[in-house]
């Protein structure tokens, strides 16, 4: 990887890591930065910075991350998915209105909004996955038969361009705003900046989330779907894979007290890896099962490609999801489990799938 590409990759990794970490916070906190910043902010965006910043100490300095030789030396080849994300980050960094504070602020707002939103939903930028979502949700409920209510929220970049929704976000989650009138004022200033930028907030980065919560919430962002389709993944496979992966996390929540293997793992990185690889395994089992999504070999190859592409090599990160080879192995073994069933119509229970994963985890995936 060339060093200039590594800088962009590091910036992207920083944005994604910040996004993942923000997802776990119980309380919304706006981005906090020193007034004397050690990275470049384009002059044209400075006039708006008062509307999304607070003068408190910064917790990291981008220039230090860019000079971290350990990070730049990570033994990780850039996948097709990584190249797509790199393009998004490069577009953001070269936008005349790029400001890290704004990027972080918008990401926080959109994530918090989709986390707490309750109401009608649509999936895909124009609702193109609505029917598929209804079918898959119905099928997954029957297939895994979990004892919990699960709901799916769609995340969209367009919410950051809607005056009323953006005002709702600011009023609800920005602690510097005291009332609706102040929220409107801040929203209008940000919308003015939006109109001048070609990337903010249209860049898929602002809807790149896919996550789940213990309360039954699942979230799928348009940006993530768009990114996977850009590398040639069938759009239906992409949506089904994300949904079935996140659905398995609900099974993990439900069986948290019984499934104690993860508690024996010494680091958070290893716990995260185990959880994510098991979700890949279970998703593949559902997707290829005769009473699941019933995908044939050609279509499951797309899932294998997806699994390989979304691996990461940040093995010491608390958000490590498994390397490309590990995610591919987990997906293939989940497929093999469904394919080897003597009675094709018989569905293993979540407990049985969990036990099957434990049998192959250390010997065939790691």
Each residue of 284-337: pLDDT tens digit? 999 999 999 999 878 888 888 888 888 888 788 888 889 999 999 999 999 999
| Rounded Cα distance, 256 and 258, in Å | 6
Instruction: For residues 213-223, give the mean pLDDT.
Output: 97
Residue with tokens 């005349």: 96
| Rounded Cα distance, 39 and 62, in Å | 7
For residue 201, cis peptide bond before it (omega within 30 degrees of 0): yes
Token reading at 74: 């990570």
Beta bridge partners of 221: 155
The two beta strands, 217-221 and 210-212, are: antiparallel
Given this model, what pLDDT does residue 76 score? Answer: 67
Given this model, what pLDDT does residue 16 score? Answer: 52
Given this model, what pLDDT does residue 50 score? Answer: 59
Which residue, 9, 80, 20, is CA-closest to 230?
Answer: 80
Give DSSP secondary structure letters for 309-344: HT----TTSTT----HHHHHHHHHHHHHHHHH-SST
Beta bridge partners of 155: 221
pLDDT per residue as tens digits for the range 89-128: 999 999 999 999 999 999 999 999 999 999 999 999 999 9
Given this model, what pLDDT does residue 12 score? Answer: 52
Residue 152's SS3 state is strand
Please state the domain extents for the chain: 1-129+154-206+213-223
**Predicted confidence band of residue 345 (pLDDT cuts 50, 70, 90):** confident
Residue 65 has pLDDT above 70, yes or no: no
Better-predicted residue by pLDDT, 72 or 207: 207
Phi-psi region of 322 (alpha: psi -120 to 50; beta: other; left: phi over 0): left
Given this model, what pLDDT does residue 318 score? Answer: 82
Instruction: For residues 256-278, give the mean pLDDT.
Output: 96
Residue 263 has pLDDT above 90, yes or no: yes
Burial class (CB in 10 A: 0-12, 13-18, 19+), 229: middle
Given this model, what pLDDT does residue 247 score? Answer: 98
Residue 360 has pLDDT above 80, yes or no: yes
pLDDT per residue as tens digits for the range 129-176: 999 999 999 999 999 999 999 999 999 999 999 999 999 999 999 999
CA distances to 182, 236, 342 from 329, rounded to whole Å, are 52, 22, 22
pTM (2 d.p.): 0.84
Residue 73's SS3 state is coil
Residue 23 has pLDDT above 70, yes or no: no
Average pLDDT of the chain is 83
Better-predicted residue by pLDDT, 272 or 49: 272
């Amino acid at each position: 990887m060339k060093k200039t590409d590594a800088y962009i990759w590091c910036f992207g990794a920083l944005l994604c890591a910040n996004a993942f970490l923000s997802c776990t916070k119980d309380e919304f906190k706006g981005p906090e930065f020193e007034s004397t910043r050690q990275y470049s902010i384009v002059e044209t965006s400075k006039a708006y910075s008062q509307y999304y910043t607070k003068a408190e100490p910064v917790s990291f300095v981008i220039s230090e991350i860019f000079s971290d030789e350990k990070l730049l030396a990570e033994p990780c080849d850039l996948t097709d998915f990584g190249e797509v994300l790199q393009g998004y980050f490069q577009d953001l960094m070269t936008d005349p209105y790029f400001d890290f504070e704004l990027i972080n602020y918008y990401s926080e707002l959109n994530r918090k909004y989709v986390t707490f939103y309750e109401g009608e939903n649509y999936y895909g930028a124009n609702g193109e996955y609505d029917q598929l979502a209804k079918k898959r949700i119905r099928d997954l409920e029957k297939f895994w038969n979990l004892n919990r209510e699960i709901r799916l929220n769609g995340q969209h970049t367009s919410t950051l361009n809607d005056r009323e929704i953006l005002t709702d976000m600011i009023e609800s989650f920005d602690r510097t705003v005291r009332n609706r009138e102040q929220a409107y004022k801040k929203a209008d200033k940000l919308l003015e900046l939006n109109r001048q930028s070609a990337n903010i907030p249209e860049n898929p980065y602002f809807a790149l989330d896919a996550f789940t919560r213990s309360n039954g919430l699942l979230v799928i962002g348009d940006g993530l779907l768009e990114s996977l389709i850009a590398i040639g993944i069938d759009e239906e496979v992409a949506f089904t894979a994300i949904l079935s992966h996140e659905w398995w996390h609900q099974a993990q929540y439900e069986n948290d007290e019984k499934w104690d293997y993860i508690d024996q793992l010494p680091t958070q990185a290893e716990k995260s890896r185990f959880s994510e690889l098991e979700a890949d395994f279970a998703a593949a089992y559902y997707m290829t099962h005769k009473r699941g999504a019933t995908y044939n070999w050609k279509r499951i190859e797309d899932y294998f490609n997806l699994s390989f592409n979304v691996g990461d090599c940040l093995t010491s990160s608390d958000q490590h999801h498994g390397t490309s080879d590990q995610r591919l192995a987990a997906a293939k073994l989940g497929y093999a489990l469904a394919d080897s069933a003597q009675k094709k119509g018989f569905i293993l229970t979540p407990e049985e799938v969990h036990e099957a994963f434990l049998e192959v985890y250390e010997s065939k995936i790691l």
